[in-house]
Amino acid sequence: MTKKPASGTHSGTNAATRFVTSGRNPQTFHGFVNPPVVHASTVLYPTVDDYIARRGRYTYGRRGTPTSEALASALAEIEGTQCAGVALLPSGLAAASLALQSALRAGDHALITDNVYGPTRHFCDTVLGRCGVTVSYFDPMIGGNISALIQPSTRVVYLESPGSLTFEVQDVPAIAAAAHARNATVLMDNTWASPLYFRALEMGVDLAIQSGSKYIGGHSDLMLGVVAANAATWQQLSATVFSMGLCVGPDDMYLGLRGLRTMAVRLAQHYQAGLTVAHWFAQRPEVAQVLHPAFESCPGHAIWKRDFTGASGLFSIVLKPAPEAAVHAFIDALTLFGIGASWGGFESLVIPFDCHDVRSATTWSPKGPTIRFHIGLEDVADLIADLERGFAALAAAR
């Protein structure tokens, strides 16, 4: 399970270093380590000539401030040399929908992975359809065989690896090669691994999407979305963002920048603690399957070993068949795991899930009830003791 160190060298440094150093220019801000939070709309010009020529580094709040530049350039440096630019959006869902809109127009066809984040799927089935884009879904484990599904009008292949409920790990390089051979743009939701553990742009992705509300924010107090583009896609992405008037509030951008500085150490802890808890689940008699990419029981495990340098703290388990009331008793008995959607903050979370009626290209039929966990930054032994209490409640409720 030992992985190569988080790689992708840029200016001679590893990604973990760039989380700390990137996008910083203390000379510009009187030596202060962090940039100021610039609340801004109007930018004043010294003369009317300057105004007519729009002379100056900044022209209007929506079009960029020292705060947005600091965050976007930090994220771009972390993505590495393939990154031509980063767009900041008000949420991860906005990042996904905006990236899709930038790459598609009426008459196009989009291929979307069947394990895609639910609200992204909803966007594809509603707004994209109204815009005249046809959408079809494909088996996340399809690999290079995606060639057979690519039509002359296919302009986009959208990936999410691993899926954030069921954790299929996709063969991104093979899918990207097949897509590029037919001139399709490759989009990927890289929220789970982040560029620390999966170098999306270097693996053939053209537009790499992250929900900054998760590990970038890291404290469950931020909504933020990020799209990193390569040279082939940056111009169209940034033009689409500007024309739609999308921008992020300065305090939220600052929280994103602040979260980035500790993200590599937080993720390392989520990774190790997640592995420890997942191993503990794997030897419990109540558990049928552990859906964690670092485990052989997870579809695409070999691809995770080949392409990823780590894992986040989010994974699922399949229980052996148990009545719904017993599963609810298990979850309700937990005191350190909050019941709630989202993830990536400092706290542990748990939700039951069922996606059998959501999938259209594949069949989701697990051997028993399914539960997703986010392993937070609490002491791991305390978390395991809490889960032991949960299993006692499950046994009592049978």
Ligand X SMILES: *Cc1c(COP(=O)(O)O)cnc(C)c1O
Residues that bind ligand X (CB under 6 A): 91-93, 96, 117, 164, 189, 191, 211, 213-214, 223, 225, 342
Q: Is 214 a catalytic residue?
A: yes
How many of the other CB atoms lie within 10 Å of CB of 341? 9
For 277, the token pair is 């808890």
d(CA 390, CA 331): 6
Q: Which helix (H) or strand (E) holds 138?
A: strand 134-138
Which residue's CB is nearer to ligand X, number 137 or number 330?
137
Which residue's CB is nearer to ligand X, number 82 or number 210?
210
Q: Which of 3, 62, 258, 389 is catalytic?
A: 62
The string of DSSP codes covering 207-262 is: EEEEETTTTTT-SS----EEEEE-TTTHHHHHHHHHHHT----HHHHHHHHHHHHH
CA 190, 195, 198, 204 dihedral sign is positive
Place of tokens 């992020």: 248
Which residue's CB is nearer to ligand X, number 304 or number 330?
304
Q: Which of 117, 158, 197, 254 is catalytic?
A: 117
Which residue's CB is nearer to ligand X, number 213 or number 240?
213
> DSSP letter at 127?
I
CB of 344 to ligand X, least distance (A): 8
302: helix, strand or coil? helix
d(CA 201, CA 194): 11
Burial of residue 162, with CB atoms counted within 10 A of its CB: 0-12 exposed, 13-18 middle, 19 or more buried: buried
CB of 222 to ligand X, least distance (A): 9
d(CA 394, CA 371): 13
CB 304 within 8 A of CB 294: yes
Which residue's CB is nearer to ligand X, number 97 or number 326?
97
Q: Is 117 a catalytic residue?
A: yes
Q: Is 189 a catalytic residue?
A: yes
Q: Which of 108, 114, 171, 189 is catalytic?
A: 189
Which of the residues are catalytic? 62, 117, 189, 214
